[in-house]
């Protein structure tokens, strides 16, 4: 197996006003290409921190993160930005949409950042908008959308640049069970049809059930599953 994501003894220690918080205490993990992985664990155990490390949003205090065979600590800022923009699609716990751009513009934003052709990115944004059944809300600002609608826009945005890896942090947090199921089916299709590598964080066993592999993080360490 050739892992697309590999973590070697990753540690993250936050230090704020002299208070030292070890969030990750040495994580070893391999995620295969096309794998559907769910991360579970109690609140404050370090799940989000781990996902941020994988997504190159933050740097580990110690250890290595290897994406597609490249140790990302060797990459420069601009190369990291490129990686975040094109290889990874992030869906955050709090959606994190651009507040003054419309729904369709939010989906267009990663393609704008990646300097895609304007016509092409508008076409694709509409296509993605349709695929999450949100075409009737194209011109709405995030503040004019419900939580579930914002979530769907966030997912569409994560797919804009055809990333290899989808990272999602509690994406079904406050949704009703019908919407949850829809979104999970959607992710499952992406993984199966487009061979995307999907990693999600969840508290809910029924969501984790969609994944092929489930790992549990407790107190900054993998307590169960993983490698």
What is the nearest approach in angstroms of Mg ion to the Cβ of residue 48? 3
Tokens coding 20:
């030292």
Q: Go through the chain and tell me how many residues it has.
A: 227
What is the nearest approach in angstroms of Mg ion to the Cβ of residue 125? 28
The rounded distance, in Å, linking the Cα atoms of 80 and 75 is 6
Q: Which residues pair with 32 in a beta bridge?
A: 3
- Among residue numbers 29 through 58, which ones bind Mg ion (CB under 5 A)? 48
Helix (H) or strand (E) holding 165: strand 165-169
The CA dihedral of 146, 103, 56, 186, to the nearest 10 degrees, is 70
- Among residue numbers 6 through 25, which ones bind ligand ATP (CB under 6 A)? 14, 16, 21, 23
The rounded distance, in Å, linking the Cα atoms of 226 and 201 is 14
Query: Using CB atoms, what's the residue nearest to Mg ion?
Result: 48
Q: Of the two residues 81 and 218, which places its CB atom closer to other proteins in the complex?
A: 81
Binder of residue 55, out of other proteins, Mg ion, ligand ATP, none (CB less than 5 to 8 A by kind): other proteins
Q: Which residues pair with 222 in a beta bridge?
A: 217
Residues that bind Mg ion (CB under 5 A): 48
Residues that bind other proteins (CB under 8 A): 52, 55, 57-58, 77-78, 81-86, 90, 92, 96-101, 109-110, 112-115, 157, 161
């Amino acid at each position: 197996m050739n892992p697309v994501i590999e973590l070697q003894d990753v540690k993250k220690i936050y230090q704020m006003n002299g208070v030292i918080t070890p969030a990750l205490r040495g994580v070893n993990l391999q995620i295969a290409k096309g794998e559907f992985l769910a991360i579970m664990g109690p609140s404050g155990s370090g799940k989000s921190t781990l996902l941020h490390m994988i997504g190159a949003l933050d740097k580990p205090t110690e250890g290595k993160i290897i994406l597609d065979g490249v140790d990302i600590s060797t990459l420069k800022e601009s190369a990291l930005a490129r990686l975040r923009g094109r290889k990874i699609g992030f869906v955050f716990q709090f959606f994190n949409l651009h507040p003054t751009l419309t729904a369709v513009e939010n989906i267009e934003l990663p393609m704008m950042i990646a300097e895609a052709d304007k016509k092409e990115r508008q076409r694709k944004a509409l296509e993605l908008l349709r695929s999450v059944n949100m075409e009737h809300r194209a011109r709405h600002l995030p503040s004019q959308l419900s939580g579930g609608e914002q979530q769907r826009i966030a997912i569409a945005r994560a797919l804009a640049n055809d990333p290899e890896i989808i990272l999602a942090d509690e994406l079904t947090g406050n949704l009703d069970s019908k919407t949850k199921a829809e979104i999970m089916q959607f992710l499952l299709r992406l993984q199966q049809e487009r061979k995307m590598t999907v990693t999600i964080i969840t508290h809910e066993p029924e969501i984790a059930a969609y994944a092929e592999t489930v790992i549990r993080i407790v107190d900054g360490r993998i307590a169960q599953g993983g490698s």
